[in-house]
Chains A and B, each alone.
Chain A
Amino acid sequence: MLAALWAAGRPLVPAEVQAAVGSDLAYTTVMTILVRLHDKGVIERERAGRAYAYQPVVAETEVVADQVRRLLEHGHDRAAVLQGLVEGLDPGDVRVLRELLDAARAVRRTRGDAG
């Protein structure tokens, strides 16, 4: 959903978000998620007629050329000071990471139940 807002590059009303996401999410579900993201401060909203139009707080999409794409596809050795999100993964870590991911999911589920 955040990706849809980024891709739009302009404020979207919930109906447009629903269309952009393209899945069969109910309108109320889209609404709920947007309100939740707004509460978290990830997106901001403005009045657009009777509805609110939402846009990411800091976000935009641009068509970028080779340099940026190469950076993303070949990682850090392009420029040592550009911090990537994950700088390398030992194949032996896969099992460990899968377990950690399960653990993270479990923590999030518990939180979701509690809240």
Chain B
Amino acid sequence: METVVYGPFVLIPLVVALSRLTSRRLRPRAAAWAVTGSALAVAVATVGSLGLLLSPLVRRVPLVAEVGGWQPASVAVRSPVPWWISAGALLALAALGWRVVVWVGRVGRDVSAIGRVHAEFGSGSDRGVVVVDSPAVGAHAVPRTLRRPGRVLVSRGLLAVLDDDEQAAVVAHEGAHLRHGHALFVVAIDLAVALNPLLQPMGDDVRLAVERWADEDAGAATDRAVMASALAKAALATLSPPTAAGAWWMHLHDHAVAVRVAALLDEPHRGVRAAWLLVGIALLAAGALVWATHDTERFFEAVRLFRRT
């Protein structure tokens, strides 16, 4: 328990660095799966480790010790985890618990926002693209709900700056988001980040990976250069919006659009090897947690035996 319990924490910088590389250099479908999966695995493992670090403190609570049949003092004396680390783990777990509550609230708000958007569409036809009569430049994939299928929204403002082929590519792009359930990847990575704030950069990585996934999907269905020019035009058009409502892009200062356009003009990324490294890290994290749990159980077993003799 002494060292292996800290294992999942050691893996954090490794998984974050690999995720960044993966989301930019790999086939996007593999990248999205590997980054999301490894983030969840590392997040769960770190929470589990915090739980183990907290356990000696919990077992010193008189009532718990009474039930378990050991003496609180013997845990205190023999525990390999200093009390202040256990106390820190307690604080961290409380903060993470709050973050999960916030995450649940956000998912709930998203689901109700999606419901409200669906409610504004006529019930007559339940498939297809909705052209929104707005000068704003935008396109959105509105995920399916239990009762309604997913919809693609395109604004007139966006259609106006694109030619026919580009319009088809944009619709294919948004359709790919719906078909592959990309919203669920975003929800999952947000949960991982809630459980472990140090994984924050992986949230951006997954968002980039699913965008690139949809880009490549649409590029394969239409044409990659067409998808590239559609993206570049749309991005440039958001800079000079005809309405005053266009300032939201200022909140985000990443270079994701340029990265995506450049990727479409380059040869497609076919590599998947780094994804296996991420899978390996996920397995290591899970293994470290299992090992540490086993060690912890053995330790408390020893404490119990110590009391009996």
* Chain A interface residues (CB < 8 Å from chain B): 1-3, 6-7, 33, 37, 40, 42, 56, 58-65, 67-69, 71-91, 93-94, 96-98, 100-101, 103-105, 107-108, 111
Stretch from B24-32, B62-70, B179-187 at the A interface: B179-187
* Distance (whole angstroms) from the CB of B232 to the closest CB of chain A: 4
Contact B153 A68 (CB under 8 A): yes
Chain B residues whose C-beta falls within 8 Å of the C-beta of A74 in the assembled complex: 245, 248
* Distance (whole angstroms) from the CB of B215 to the closest CB of chain A: 10
- Decide yes or no: A85 and B170 within 8 Å by CB, A71-B153, A93-B255, A94-B236 being known contacts: yes
Contact B120 A65 (CB under 8 A): yes
Chain B residues 174-232 with CB under 8 Å of chain A are 174-175, 177, 182-183, 186-187, 190, 207, 210-211, 214, 222-223, 225-226, 228-229, 231-232
Bound-state Cα–Cα, A87 to B117, Å: 19
Chain B residues whose C-beta falls within 8 Å of the C-beta of A56 in the assembled complex: 128-129
Q: Classify the interface of chain A: helix, strand, loop or mixed.
A: helix
* Distance (whole angstroms) from the CB of A68 to the closest CB of chain B: 5
Bound-state Cα–Cα, A83 to B256, Å: 14
Contact B120 A68 (CB under 8 A): yes
- Decide yes or no: A73 and B134 within 8 Å by CB, A97-B257, A107-B225, A107-B265 being known contacts: yes
Contact B168 A2 (CB under 8 A): yes
Contact B159 A84 (CB under 8 A): no
Contact B243 A73 (CB under 8 A): yes
29 contacts between A and B (CB under 8 A): A3-B167, A6-B159, A7-B131, A58-B128, A58-B175, A60-B129, A64-B133, A69-B132, A72-B132, A72-B136, A73-B243, A75-B138, A77-B248, A79-B113, A81-B114, A82-B140, A83-B141, A84-B138, A85-B158, A88-B254, A89-B236, A93-B257, A98-B232, A100-B261, A100-B265, A104-B228, A104-B229, A105-B229, A108-B225
Contact B139 A85 (CB under 8 A): yes
Chain B residues whose C-beta falls within 8 Å of the C-beta of A7 in the assembled complex: 131
Chain A residues whose C-beta falls within 8 Å of the C-beta of B261 in the assembled complex: 97, 100-101, 104
Given A6-B131, A37-B164, A100-B258, 14 more contacts at CB 8 Å? A3-B156, A3-B167, A7-B131, A67-B116, A67-B120, A68-B120, A71-B113, A71-B138, A85-B170, A85-B231, A87-B256, A88-B254, A97-B261, A104-B265
Contact B262 A100 (CB under 8 A): yes
- Decide yes or no: A85 and B252 within 8 Å by CB, A60-B129, A64-B120 being known contacts: no
Contact A97 B167 (CB under 8 A): no
From A37, A68, A93, A108, B229 is in contact (CB under 8 Å) with: A108
Contact B252 A104 (CB under 8 A): no
Q: Is B121 an interface residue (CB 8 A)?
A: yes
Contact A98 B265 (CB under 8 A): no
Bound-state Cα–Cα, A97 to B250, Å: 16
Contact A89 B239 (CB under 8 A): yes
Find the residue from A42, A56, A87 having the highest chain B CB count within 10 A. A87
* Distance (whole angstroms) from the CB of B152 to the closest CB of chain A: 8
* Distance (whole angstroms) from the CB of B117 to the closest CB of chain A: 5
Bound-state Cα–Cα, A90 to B259, Å: 12
Contact A3 B265 (CB under 8 A): no
Q: Is B233 an interface residue (CB 8 A)?
A: yes
From A79, A91, A93, A98, B109 is in contact (CB under 8 Å) with: A79
From B190, B222, B239, A80 is in contact (CB under 8 Å) with: B190
* Distance (whole angstroms) from the CB of B161 to the closest CB of chain A: 11
Chain B residues whose C-beta falls within 8 Å of the C-beta of A96 in the assembled complex: 255, 258
| Chain A, Cβ-Cβ closest to B109 | A79
Bound-state Cα–Cα, A108 to B182, Å: 29
Contact A75 B248 (CB under 8 A): yes
* Distance (whole angstroms) from the CB of B84 to the closest CB of chain A: 37
From B107, B140, B232, B251, A97 is in contact (CB under 8 Å) with: B232
Chain B residues 73-110 with CB under 8 Å of chain A are 106-107, 109-110
Chain A residues whose C-beta falls within 8 Å of the C-beta of B141 in the assembled complex: 82-83
